[in-house]
Amino acid sequence: MLLLLILFPLVIAAISLAVPWYQARSWLLPAGSALHLLLSVLLAIGHFPATGSWIGLDALSRLVLVVTSLLFFGCALYAVGYLDIRRDRGNRIMVPCLLIFLSAMTLAVSARHLGLMWMAVEATTISSAPLIYFNCNRLSIEATWKYLLICSVGIALAMLGILFIAYAALGGGSPVSLQLDTLLANATSLSRPWLHAGFIFLLVGFGTKMGLAPLHTWKPDAYGEAPGLVGALLAGGLTSVAFLAILRGVQLMTAAGDGDMARQVLLGMGLFSLMLAAIFMVRQPDIKRMLAYSSVEHMGLLAIGVGIGGPATFGAMLHLINNALTKGGLFLAAGNIQRAYDSKCISEIRGAIVTLPISGTLFLAGFLAISGSPPFGPFVSKFTLLRGIFGSDRLVVGMLVLLCLAIVFIGMGTTVLAATQGEPEQKSPLFRDRPLLYLSPLCFILLVLLLGVYIPEPLQAALHQAAALLEVQP
Amino acid sequence: MGLTNSLLLAVLLINFFTLGSARLVACIRMVALQGALLALLPPATHGLSGHALFLAAGALSFKGIFIPWLLLRAIREVRIRREVEPIIGFVPTMILGALTTAGAFLFADFLPLISEHHEGLYVPAALATMFAGFLLLITRRKAITQVLGYLMLENGIFIIGVLLSSALPLMVEAGVLLDLLVGVFVMGIVINRINREFSTINTERLSALKE
């Protein structure tokens, strides 16, 4: 069943190349991703067995799978409306690439073999490059080139890390395999220096993909130039997948009894990401680049959560869901605003709430949500995270995180309020809200709101299971 | 041992050639040759097993033939022949290359390798090739030379992969090579677009996006 989940988007991608009608091709996206979402949920609640030595689901991957699938479904629905108004660019490349991207993400999430996981993550890089290039202008070429080169080199280093882990098995005299369960079972006999080196390279490699500072340099460019829906998928989906890949390394280190070292490194990188994002978000004139730095910030928070451990890990897992959905809503709303003003710079965007009553309001609500204001979901997850930090007696880290969050709130607030409030200069906007283009961000923000007031019991259990997986000691 | 060591020595020499040459076609051919030589490494190391032969065939056809063909096609279309004005000159990069190679040999001695790997040149050659790839990535302006740097980095990783081939099943190896091929194919398309849009493939022109 899991194999089907990976393969059928590829089949639909092939069909989409053969379909001659523009609208039909666009509608293949939501149709395919609805099926994907349905199957993912069924798999996640254990309707079908999903264990195997090559691909299988555990608590962590179930979580990421459902989140990415949900996000993709929303973006696919949005894509129908988006591609309809972008008939000049066509959808012959966009639709198949999105579907291949979905397939690669699913494979990366469900892979139980580190080599297979690497292959799938690299496939996500390649299949998302044409998506970033969608607008075909000088800026999008530059963004695509940086993305492709930096991420490919980063991922190559992750391969080196994976090979080092295999070498650790060779040096430790345990069976040489990159199958995750075998590795975890024999983790204590792995040769330490190679395991440590392997983890560091894994972190650098997949950290590049995830956008942890200082490896985030491609992120503002790619998110800034890609269409809103691609930004949403990268910021919400791909980053979660890359984070999962890093978590596999953390799992391995913890199982080998060196979890503390892994957590220290993650904590350091997370704090650095948070600080750097806070600096760059102050006076950021470009709404999409601002969202990209916000993504760096939230990746930092995820790393800090896992780095602290204990209840903070639970907070990080919850934050992964909240971040994915909120970023999805924000990027889609930002895409609509950019369309209405033909600019993404606050020097030209004024009064977005008047021009686009729904998208503008969603953008503002999304800002409130992502910056951790109650009653939205990220408030709960950030609160849990902070409680975990202070609970583990790391006062300095906690104060630093609070300070950065405050700076981010002020910096992001200045830009967002400037864009949404006030009176628009043009009276006749180029674009008005239409249902297909505001339905998905609306649902994302509503879901985030729901998660802020009520976390269903099964989800809570799933989050606890996922967090527990990261704490399995030798 | 003799055969693998001479293969790896040839690989090291090719590193220096690419670091010191300005002619793009020659550089691409040399990286192709490096890929083809590396294709001989798995059978030379593990004997003529099915896995080793498959890996050799895959590496030869992808690293030695397809990818260089894609790159040669890309530069034929953009009519660029030489790397001019690298960020760091050719002689300094060669000296840097020599230093990193020496460093790789010294460093490999300190690594806690298992006893069979202490003798061979595998680890130092892999490290030196990776460093040379990084040097190309950092010091060159042409998009195509940066792709060559990426390929050399992958070649270096491939050498380490040969030592650990039992950890990487055939399916994964094939997938990794396929990823590399498609990746270079997409990079080739982007290079073509860069040339069409900017009338050059110098990447310093790609500097509009910044804070």
**Cβ contact A119–B167 (<8 Å):** no
Choose between A67 and B172: higher pLDDT: A67
pLDDT at A107 over 80: yes
Binned at pLDDT 50, 70 and 90, residue A425 comes out as confident
Rounded CA gap, A307 and A312, in Å? 8
Our measurement of the distance from residue A197's CA atom to the centroid of its chain's CA atoms, rounded to an integer in Å, reads: 26
**Looking at residues A339-366, what average pLDDT do you find?**
90
Give the domain ranges of chain A. Answer: 258-474
pLDDT at B57 over 70: yes
Which residues face A179 on adjacent strands?
Answer: A113
Nearest residue, CB atoms, B186 vs list A126, A167, A193: A126
- Tokens standing for residue B188: 């080739």
Binned at pLDDT 50, 70 and 90, residue A301 comes out as very high
**Cβ contact B176–A130 (<8 Å):** no
Mean pLDDT score of chain A, rounded to an integer?
92
pLDDT at B1 over 70: no
The residue of chain B nearest to residue A283, with distances taken between CA atoms, is: B211
**Looking at residues A106-130, what average pLDDT do you find?**
95
Contacts of B141 in chain A (CB under 8 A): none
Q: What is the pLDDT of residue A47?
A: 80
Instruction: For chain A, give the percent of residues with pLDDT over 70.
Output: 100
pLDDT at B94 over 80: yes
**Looking at residues B45-59, what average pLDDT do you find?**
90
Contacts of B206 in chain A (CB under 8 A): 141-142, 145-146
Instruction: For chain A, give the percent of residues with pLDDT over 90.
Output: 81
Q: What is the pLDDT of residue B170?
A: 87
Q: Is A342 left (phi over 0), alpha (psi -120 to 50) or beta?
A: left
Taking only the tens place, the pLDDT of each residue in A199-228 is: 999 999 999 999 998 999 999 999 999 999
Lowest mean pLDDT segment, chosen from A9-23, A294-308, A440-454, B104-118: B104-118
Rounded CA gap, A17 and A32, in Å? 14
Mean pLDDT score of chain B, rounded to an integer?
89
pLDDT at A428 over 80: no
**Looking at residues B36-65, what average pLDDT do you find?**
92
DSSP string computed for A81-113? HHHHHTTTT-STTHHHHHHHHHHHHHHHHHB-B
**Cβ contact A171–B164 (<8 Å):** no
Binned at pLDDT 50, 70 and 90, residue A439 comes out as very high
B172 touches A: beta carbon within 8 Å = yes
Lowest mean pLDDT segment, chosen from A3-17, A110-124, B82-96: B82-96
Instruction: For chain B, give the percent of residues with pLDDT over 70.
Output: 100
pLDDT at A80 over 90: yes
Lowest mean pLDDT segment, chosen from A69-73, A268-272, A400-404, B192-196: B192-196
In a domain, B34, yes or no: yes
In a domain, B54, yes or no: yes
**Looking at residues A57-67, what average pLDDT do you find?**
94
Q: What is the pLDDT of residue A35?
A: 96
pLDDT at B210 over 80: no
For A230, half-sphere exposure in the C-beta direction (CA atoms, 13 angstrom radius) is 28
Identify the burial level of B192 via C-beta atoms within 10 angstroms of its C-beta, where 0-12 means exposed, 13-18 middle and 19 or more buried.
middle
- Can you give the length of chain B in residues? 211
Identify the burial level of A474 via C-beta atoms within 10 angstroms of its C-beta, where 0-12 means exposed, 13-18 middle and 19 or more buried.
exposed
Instruction: For chain B, give the percent of residues with pLDDT over 90.
Output: 56
- Specify the pTM: 0.95
Rounded CA gap, A72 and A68, in Å? 6
Q: What is the pLDDT of residue B53?
A: 92
**Cβ contact A142–B206 (<8 Å):** yes
DSSP string computed for A403-457? HHHHHHHHHHHHHHHHHHSS--S-SS-S----HHHHHHHHHHHHHHHHHHH---H
B193 touches A: beta carbon within 8 Å = yes
**Looking at residues A394-415, what average pLDDT do you find?**
94
Nearest residue, CB atoms, B164 vs list A118, A153, A170: A170
- Tokens standing for residue B54: 């498959």
Choose between A50 and A101: higher pLDDT: A101
- B24-47 CB burial, b ≥16 within 10 A, e <16: bbebbbbbbbbbbbbbbbbbbbbe
B196 touches A: beta carbon within 8 Å = no
**Cβ contact A145–B167 (<8 Å):** no
| Start-to-end C-alpha separation, chain B | 53
Q: What is the pLDDT of residue A303?
A: 96
Contacts of B113 in chain A (CB under 8 A): 171
- Tokens standing for residue B144: 């195509």
**Cβ contact A133–B208 (<8 Å):** no
In a domain, B70, yes or no: yes
When divided into structural domains, chain B yields a total of 1
Q: What is the pLDDT of residue B65?
A: 94
Structural domain boundaries, residue B74: 2-205
Element (H, E) at B41: helix B24-46
* Range ranked top by mean pLDDT from A83-87, A124-128, B188-192: A124-128
